[in-house]
Amino acid sequence: MANQRQSSFRRILVSKILLLSVPVLLIGEIVAYQKARYSLLETARQNLTASAVLKGEKIADAIAALKANLLTATQTQVIQSGTLTQKEEFINQLAQQQARQIECIQLVDSNSDQISASTCGEEPLNQSNPDFSSNRLEVKVLLPSNFNTTGNRDEQSKLKLLLSAPVYDRVGQWRYNLVFKSALLREKIKNKPGLLTGSTVVIAENGIILAHPIASRIGSNIAQHIDASRLQMIVRNAIAGKQDTLHLFFDKQGEELLAGYTAIDSPIIQGKQQKWVILAVTGLDNALYDLGQIKLILVVLTVGLIAASVLASLYLARCLALPVEELRDYALNLHSYHSTVPVPHNLKIREFNQLAQALDQMLERLKAWAEEVEIAWKEAKNANQSKSQFLAATSHELRNPLHIIINCIRLVRDDLCDNREEELEFLKRADETAIHLLGIINELLDISKIEAGKLSVSLEPVDLQKLLKEVINLQSVNIQQKGLQLNIPQQMSELILVNADPAKLKQVLINIIGNATKFTDEGSITITTEIQQIDSKSQVIVSVQDTGVGIDPTQQQKLFRPFVMVDDGSTRKFGGTGLGLAISRNLIELMGGRITLESRGINQGTTVSIILPLIDTRQETTENEDNGKVGELNSVNQKPELSTDLCSVQQVCHPG
C-alpha cells in the first residue's frame, strides 16, 4: 500500500511545474531588482563624487579666505601700531564678523610669547607646538589631542585649523603673531533618507584622519581601521588625480559605506607640497533608499504571475497524470499476482506507451542481472576462500625456509659441527635457503604492487635472442641436474628486437623455464622462437614446452589468478607460492604482449607461450650493422657462453 505521507503524482507534477516557472519569475525579478539597484548605485556614486569635489572646493576656498583675512588683518594700522586696547577691540570686531569660521583670535608677542590680546581667554592657542609661531604664514590642523575633547561631539568633529601670521611695526620689526583658530565643516550629520550629499571626511596624505563625523576617529590613522586597504587605495587614487567612488567599512560592526573622493592641495606647507583627500561618505542603505518601493512593485507583480502559473499547472497535471495512473495499476497488479498482466496500450501519449513496453523489457533484464549478481557473489566467495588457502600455503612456504636457516646458523653458532667443511656446508645450505626465501618475498611484493596498480616497466629495445641465451645459460644447470633433455632448435640468424624491460622480461623467462624444470621429473624441455605476421604487424612467440605433470584443462585459467593455485596432489608436492604466472602475465601485458598456457591434461606436459610485438629496424639500420648483428647471433648459436660441461645450444642436451 502507498504511504500516506507520500505525495501523489498530480501534486508532484504541479509542484515541479511551479518549481520550473517560479524560478523564471524570480530570476526576472532579481534581474530587474539588480538593474534598479545598479542604477541607484550609479546615481549615488556620481552624486557623491560631485559632492566630494564640491566639498573640496569649499574647504580650499574657505582656507584661502582665512589666509587672506589673516594677512589683511596683519597689515592694518591698528594691529601694527595701535594701543593694546585698540588692538583688542579690533580683533573682537574681526571675530564677530567672521564668527562662522573663526572661533578665536589671539595676538601673541613674538619675543615673550605672551598673549597681548585674545577673544577666547588667556590660554595660548599654540601651546602644543612652541615652534608654530614664526615670522611666516603657517597653518596647523588641531587634532583631538590638541584641544579639549569633552565638549559637544558635533563641535569636535569639525576641521579645526590654527593660522598664524607675523605682524611687523612701521619700521619693519617683527613684534607680534596674529593667530586664528578656525572651525570648518560646521555641517551636522544629516539623517534625511535618500540625501546623497554625504558626510565629509578629510584624510591627510600620510593617512591621518583630520575630520570625520565621528569625533573619536579624528587623529587616527587609516591603517588602524578594519578596511585599511581600501582607505589606502582611496588616498593613492585621489593623490594620483582620480575622482571616483568606493565601498568601504570603518569597523567590523559598522554599516557598509559608499564614498566619493577627490584631493586638494594641503594648506600646510612642510617641504614637499602635500595633498588632502576629501571624502563624501554616506551609508549604502541611504544610497539605496528608493530601492524599497521598486522591490514592493516587483513582489506584487511576481505574486500575480505565480497565481496564474498555479492554474495552468493544475490543468497540465490532470492531462499528464491519467496515463501514469494506468501504468501504476499495471505495476501494482504485476506485483500482487506475481504474473504478467497485459501492458496498457490505449494510452493517449506515445511516450507513455513506449514507457510501458520498456517496463516489460526492464523486468526481463532485472532477472538476468539478478542471476549475474548471484554468480558474481559466488565467485567472490570462492576467491576469498582461495585467498585464505593461499595465505595458509604461503605461510608454510615462508616458515620452512626460516626454520632451515635458523637451524643451520644455530648449529654453526653452537659449534656442533665436526669440522670446517661441515660448517661451510650448513652455511651454504642457509645461504641457498635465504635466496629461495628472498624469491618468495619478491613475488609477494610484486603481486602487492600489481594489486595496488604501482607495478611499472621501463621499455627499451631489447635483443630477445641474446636475453634468451642468458636465461638458458642460467637454467641449464638445473635442467642437467634433474637429468632432463634441453631441446633448442636452430635459432633464426636475423636480429629480433622487442620493446621491453630487459630485467622484467628476464624475470619472466626465468620463471617460465624454472616452472618447466620444477614440474618435469623426466623427459625434455623444448624452447622455440617463431615470428608471425598478424594484421600487418610482426610478433615473436617464445614457447617453452615440457613433458612434465601437466594441468587439468578445467584448472588452467586459475594459474593466472593471484592467490589461486591448482589444488592437485601431484603439483602441491613441488611447493612455491603460485604467484609466478600471475606476475609474469601482468609484466608481459605491461610490455604490450600476452602470455598463454596450454596442456592436454595430467601427465601430458605443458606449453607456455610468450607473445611480444616486434620492432621493425630493417629500414633504420645500415647494412654493416645488420651483418654485424647476424654474425654475432651466429657465433652465439655456434658457441654459447655456457659452463664447460654444457652442450651446444643447437644440439639436444642429454644428462651427464
3-class state of residue 325 by DSSP: helix
Instruction: Please check whether residue 471 lies inside any domain of the structure.
Output: yes
CA distance 21 to 306: 8
Give tens-digit pLDDT for 534-562. Answer: 777 889 999 999 998 888 877 766 666 65
How far separated are the first and last CA of the chain, in Å rounded? 86
Please report which confidence band the pLDDT of residue 342 belongs to, taking 50, 70 and 90 as the band edges: low
Is residue 437 located within the same domain as residue 487?
no
Position 127 scores a pLDDT of 58
Instruction: Please check whether residue 67 lies inside any domain of the structure.
Output: no
- The lowest-confidence range among 76-85, 103-112, 440-449 is 440-449
3-class state of residue 582 by DSSP: helix
3-class state of residue 156 by DSSP: helix
- 544: β partners: 527, 608
Asked whether 313 and 18 are in contact (CB, 8 A), the reply is yes
Please give the torsion angle defined by the CA atoms of residues 108, 110, 114 and 117, in that order, rounded to the nearest 10 degrees.
-30
Instruction: Please check whether residue 585 lies inside any domain of the structure.
Output: yes
Q: Which of 271, 291, 311 is the last residue of a domain?
A: 291
Give tens-digit pLDDT for 93-144. Answer: 888 888 788 888 888 888 887 888 888 877 787 655 555 556 678 888 887 6
pLDDT at 637 over 50: no
Is residue 469 located within the same domain as residue 427?
no
Tell me what the mean pLDDT of segment 604-626 comes to.
Answer: 71
Helix (H) or strand (E) holding 32: helix 9-74
Burial of 49 from C-beta contacts in 10 A (0-12 / 13-18 / 19+): buried
> Grid coordinates 579624528 are at which residue?
218
Identify the residue with better confidence: 335 or 418.
418
Is residue 538 located within the same domain as residue 623?
yes
Give tens-digit pLDDT for 132-190. Answer: 556 678 888 887 665 444 445 455 557 888 888 888 888 888 888 888 888 887 665 45
- 165: β partners: 178
Q: Which of 455, 490, 521 is the last residue of a domain?
A: 455
Tell me what the mean pLDDT of segment 506-532 comes to.
Answer: 87
Is residue 640 located within the same domain as residue 510?
yes
Instruction: Please check whether residue 136 lies inside any domain of the structure.
Output: no
Give tens-digit pLDDT for 471-481. Answer: 888 778 778 88
Helices (H) and strands (E) in the chain, counts: 14, 18
Tell me what the mean pLDDT of segment 580-588 comes to.
Answer: 79
Distances in Å between the alpha carbon of 218 and those of 51, 237, 336, 533, 629?
21, 21, 84, 92, 93
Distances in Å between the alpha carbon of 548 and those of 134, 145, 518?
119, 106, 9
Instruction: Please check whether residue 112 lies inside any domain of the structure.
Output: no
Asked whether 209 and 202 are in contact (CB, 8 A), the reply is yes
> Grid coordinates 590660554 are at which residue?
123
Tell me what the mean pLDDT of segment 463-469 comes to.
Answer: 88
Instruction: Please check whether residue 78 lies inside any domain of the structure.
Output: no
Quote the pTM value.
Answer: 0.46
Instruction: Please check whether residue 433 lies inside any domain of the structure.
Output: yes
Is residue 569 located within the same domain as residue 582?
yes
For the chain, the domain total comes to 3
Which residues, at least 6 apart from 120, have a Cβ–Cβ distance to it below 8 Å? 103, 104, 105, 106, 181
**Domain containing residue 408: CATH number:** 1.10.287.130
Q: pLDDT exceeding 90 applies to what percent of the chain?
A: 4
Is residue 518 located within the same domain as residue 635?
yes
Tell me what the mean pLDDT of segment 32-52 comes to.
Answer: 89
Instruction: Please check whether residue 118 lies inside any domain of the structure.
Output: no
Q: Which of 403, 420, 455 is the last residue of a domain?
A: 455
Is residue 414 located within the same domain as residue 503?
no
Is residue 406 located within the same domain as residue 488?
no
Is residue 440 located within the same domain as residue 492?
no
Tell me what the mean pLDDT of segment 609-625 comes to.
Answer: 67
Helix (H) or strand (E) holding 72: helix 9-74
Is residue 447 located within the same domain as residue 592?
no
Identify the residue with better confidence: 644 or 369.
369
> What domain range includes position 432?
343-455
Is residue 497 located within the same domain as residue 405?
no
Give tens-digit pLDDT for 260-286. Answer: 999 998 887 655 678 899 998 888 888
Position 245 scores a pLDDT of 81
Is residue 585 located within the same domain as residue 629?
yes
Helix (H) or strand (E) holding 347: none
Position 440 scores a pLDDT of 67
